[in-house]
Amino acid sequence: MSTIQNNLTVFFPGKLVFANGCMEQLPDEIKALQPAKVFIVTIKPLEPAVSRLKTQLNKNGIGVQTDTTIVQEPSFSDFEQLMVQVSAFDPDLVIGIGGGSVLDVAKLAAAQLGNEQQLSDYVGIGLLKGRERKLICVPATSGTGSEASPNAILVDGAGQKKGIISPYLVPDIVYVDPLLTISVPPAITAATGIDALTHCMEAYTNKFAQPFIDMMAFEGMRLIAQYIETAVKDGSNAEAREKVAMGSLLGGICLGPVNTAGVHALSYPLGSLFHLAHGLSNALLLPYIMEYNIPAATKKYAEVAIALGCERQSTDAATAARGVKKIRELISACGIPQTLKEVNVPEEAIAGMAADAMKVQRLLKNNPREITEQDAIAIYKAAMG
């Protein structure tokens, strides 16, 4: 093992609050920071909760402005348009309350305010030099883990996803209130839940896996596998929502020190070319890439199967195979499509998708088994069904 693999650096949020109903404490948390002005990036379905928060802050003489323009995976132009509004308001605190796209944009807005660097200067890994404004993230879906990660993703003009990765994007304060996820529809609950499970699995089986992160990744897989079906089928089940939210948070923590791998790299073209939701793209590819990776990390994938709730078989290979079967069963039980054909991806798109996926080397390098362009073509073909 190289010395690089032994290096562990984790940037945790400065403060993390996880509890059903903890959103009620958020006004006091904000008041303690003594901001003059607060900018909130959120989504329309959360406007009642945000409106209550705004009223309480206004009573304390804090100016509040909100934005609900981020409704899908954000592009660079979406972000630039939002920054016109944010810059004019010039808040000292930015809050993101919503799904991963909202949180990513809030993180970048806080970093961009008062920053001499342009966004184009720090697209990539470790290029952002600092963040002057305070940042609070409140996830309203259990999926991306963005609230605990140093990552933000924007889509460029060519439809390619670009990562901005920096410890300065990790929020100062994170509030995870699983009750906020109760209103999330079943299809989104399912896709975001499998996304979170994929974060944990790709960290656990990663070429640069870490024992410290493995603990969180294993527990994240265990919680999501056990509770995701209930959360999808009975959205008002507070226990299931809480367990999946914790699994998602653990997955987000994995993203900084270890990050994702082949599933995410190959899922990106599905989003850019066919506008499939990120979580759905991951779910469509996950079992096929697990099968591809098992020969290179058989013991790790056997442990994945145990985390997913499978019985240990006579060999690691048999146990690992049982894990793939379990993932297929979970995806099916959650009502997620299981083949690319079902979501109208044409076979003739495969070569282009494979070429695009090869551009995501920052993730492919983490995969336990090398994925060449030909390998990517074979994986997409298998996933066609």
pLDDT per position as a tens digit, 39-56: 999 999 999 999 999 999
Q: What is the 3-state secondary structure (H, E, C) of the chain?
A: CCHHHHCCCCCCCCEEEECCCHHHHHHHHHHHHCCCEEEEECCHHHHHHHHHHHHHHHHCCCEEEEECCCCCCCEHHHHHHHHHHHHHHCCCEEEEEECHHHHHHHHHHHHHCCCCCCHHHCCEECCCCCCCCEEEEEECCCCCCHHHCCEEEEECCCCCEEEEECHHHCCCEEEECHHHHHHCCHHHHHHHHHHHHHHHHHHHCCCCCCHHHHHHHHHHHHHHHHHHHHHHHCCCCHHHHHHHHHHHHHHHHHHCCCCCCHHHHHHHHHHHHHCCCHHHHHHHHHHHHHHHHHHHCHHHHHHHHHHCCCCCCCCHHHHHHHHHHHHHHHHHHCCCCCCCHHHCCCHHHHHHHHHHHCCCHHHHCCCCCCCCHHHHHHHHHHHHC
pLDDT at 159 (0 to 100): 84
Residue 286 has pLDDT above 80, yes or no: yes
C-alpha to C-alpha distance for 232 and 244, rounded to whole angstroms: 10
Please state the separation of Cα 127 from the chain's center in Å. Answer: 21
pLDDT at 96 (0 to 100): 98
- Nearest Cα residue to 289 out of 323, 335, 254: 323
- Nearest Cα residue to 20 out of 144, 140, 174, 180: 180
**Per-residue pLDDT reduced to its tens digit, 159-195:** 888 999 999 999 999 999 999 999 999 999 999 999 9
**Per-residue pLDDT reduced to its tens digit, 224-270:** 999 999 999 999 999 999 999 999 999 999 999 999 999 999 999 99
pTM for the full predicted model:
0.95
Residue 2 has pLDDT above 50, yes or no: no
pLDDT > 70: percent of the chain? 98
* Domains, the chain: 3-181 (3.40.50.1970), 184-384 (1.20.1090.10)
pLDDT at 160 (0 to 100): 84
Number of other residues whose CB lies within 10 A of the CB of residue 171: 29
What is the average pLDDT across 286-314?
98
pLDDT > 90: percent of the chain? 93
Confidence band of 5 (pLDDT split at 50, 70, 90): low
What is the average pLDDT across 350-358?
97
C-alpha to C-alpha distance for 33 and 14, rounded to whole angstroms: 13
